[in-house]
Chain A
């Protein structure tokens, strides 16, 4: 299938939000935690769930499904928080479940098609197929760094 390991291969962590599957470069993933209650940040954008205590650090948690413009759904204890590190900052990404870790080579990646303006498309850097399922590979930087003014 598409799990060949070569010198150029990238390892991805795949995960699920609702019925869709996404993936992130494993190098930016620090850990995976179970769901805990996040303290909400007042007047924060709707996709910011709040902050949680990560071993003494205050970690902001982004509701990835909200961020990607997917319909809002119930949070439950089966949700998972993927802790990622981008440059010097840590962020938590709230997803439904983690699937797998796969190794892909650049040939397996296709550029995302130009669909209608879909928030999700702006942050998807590539598409790939695994077992005939389409996985959207996220660009972490554009997912996390939302160009928005500071909430005034």
Chain B
């Protein structure tokens, strides 16, 4: 299979755009926070500039046009001609967002958002005054490149007669005879006088090459005028002393001849006249390419020490003196200095570390293989253990070592896919900008812990839930500007987005400083919708958690933004699908915080393997506090279907897992049953009735797709040593779904409950 290199570069370009867009965001962010040193502005400029450059190469016109305008405005900033105030910055942010959209649209070849583009172009134009028309002119691709002609007459090898005013007669011409002024009316003779100035050599231009390039246009006779050349002793190497007169017979027109000298315009004197001019009677007649190296005098004048013939010692010292000369000859030293300064400033560029680009597919494959390795190793362990080999044997200690290594490999492989959440947080910045604009509120998003690393797939799957929550915070969590002022708060609402590693998990928090959850309203709506009984007595935390019930919405007005308001059940499902948990805390007047806790790596869990109703299940070990043996006496019924048991800290709800999971009818006789005391996120506890405990071990988490008709409480699955699948439970989910429980506290005495 052949890969089209252009397609590959194109794909690579769009990846590069992502990086550039991120740098752009960073730079604008820094400018927003008041850091406006030149390097920051440069970074912002270069980001847009590079996107434009690459886009041009792929003919992405819309992108080029927009980027070019944006870049022009940024250039004004860079040059100090435009000051950046908050309004300007706002436009810059919008332009950056739009640029990001255009990149994506260009990549996916989706329809262009013409209106939006025009609108922003106008906004950008406002900064430019009336320069746009100049830009348009500049945008015309004025081709300044030397026009190498395709004329390949290949007459160079011909020996032209020494007769100075002669053109070869017909007889002397080789076939094909297409270059004869008598036959071909289109070819003409030009006389070109070329005298380089000192500056020409400083730019690395080479007269010999120029002469050769001329010769490529046709047939030339070159005469070198060395009459100005002083004696060697008086030679000042930096001053050119030679001039050439070339009689060129060519079909090219004058424009093409001039274009050969395009780069050296101004660095030489150039006369082009039609007609056969007088040649200097000199011994240096020659045809260009072959004999050129013999016109060596200019070489020795020129700077390069490795000139082809350098018999004279003087040129060797020339470079040194030339070096000195060149500096002082510089016409614009002032212009030079700032350039050096800018580049000297410590750049905010990331430390250059070696990176390798790897196909995601390969990583996926590696992750899967490692997962299977762990499973396989577990199966091997089990077989060995069951085979009766002594635990102290070499085989068993070898197995332990094997387990340790497998775990290490797994950890390392998992971290390959880990990425900082920064890109995700930057997306949220944009969501806040758009959301706040849509509802007319002034909101500031602050992020912390952007460098926290999370598995790449987790980041992708967090985007939607986070977007939802951020929108909710802006739309519903934060009060309107007037309300805030009336409440004595800052008019600008705050949303804080934090990420951190905490005790083996990743914790992400979204906190707003809004009005907090309106608990009476939430309660009322829940009652109205029949989600809870009218007389239910719920704790604050329980009321807050009502938001997670499907179909719940507090938005009395359907806002444009988040539709029916809170879709928190969808959010929670998404978080759980990642193996995580989400909780709410809220304080009236102060604000609301959503806290998401995710496993650090998707892949592994320390689990307690238990048996319930003949099925094997796994519970996260970190949730299990204690193992209990039940007695019928200790089990009290709170109300039908809800039991509690007494533990040291008070009464905790008792859940019959076999029944909760639909495996069997409820247990009536608890005598001797085993229960696990677990602790939930919000510190509350519960006890789960199981049949027995099998084991504690590390299991590989296998995700369950959405297509799995997710049951409550099932977080994922794993494959046991015997190849059987065991479901991994999320106990807090089961508990939450069993319906809100009344507060359980030591205040309940046994007398109040029926036995």
Contacts and interface: CB of A to CB of B under 8 A. Distances in A.
Interface of A: 37-45, 48, 50-53, 55-58, 60, 89, 91, 144-145, 148, 150-152
B725 interface: yes
12 contacts: A41-B708, A42-B663, A42-B712, A48-B709, A56-B719, A57-B702, A58-B703, A148-B709, A150-B706, A150-B710, A151-B709, A151-B712
A144 B706 CA distance: 13
A51 B717 CA distance: 9
A84 to B, nearest CB: 12
B735 to A, nearest CB: 14
Contacts of B660: 42
Nearest to A57: B702
Contacts of B704: 51, 58
Chain A contact surface mostly:
loop
A60 B702 CA distance: 12
Range, interface on chain B? 20 to 34
B375 interface: yes
A145 B717 CA distance: 21
Interface of B is mostly: mixed
A48 B708 CA distance: 9
A43 B702 contact: no
B711 A151 contact: yes
A57 B725 CA distance: 10
A40 to B, nearest CB: 7
Given A39-B726, A41-B714, A56 B372 contact: yes
B717 A45 contact: no
B714 A53 contact: no
B556 interface: no
A39 B707 contact: no
Given A51-B725, A57-B702, A89 B707 contact: yes
B702 A58 contact: yes
A42 B727 CA distance: 10
Given A41-B708, A42-B727, A57-B702, 5 more contacts: A43-B711, A44-B711, A50-B725, A150-B573, A151-B712
B445 to A, nearest CB: 31
A53 B707 contact: no
A58 B717 contact: yes
A151 to B, nearest CB: 5
Given A51-B725, A56-B371, A152-B550, A40 B663 contact: yes
Q: Which of B550, B711, B725, B726 has the largest number of chain A CB atoms within 10 A?
A: B725
Given A37-B724, A58-B717, A42 B705 contact: no
B503 to A, nearest CB: 28
B719 A41 contact: no
Interface string B643-664: 0000000000000000011110
Given A43-B712, A89-B705, A150-B710, A58 B573 contact: no
B563 interface: no
B713 interface: yes
Contacts of A150: 573, 706, 709-710
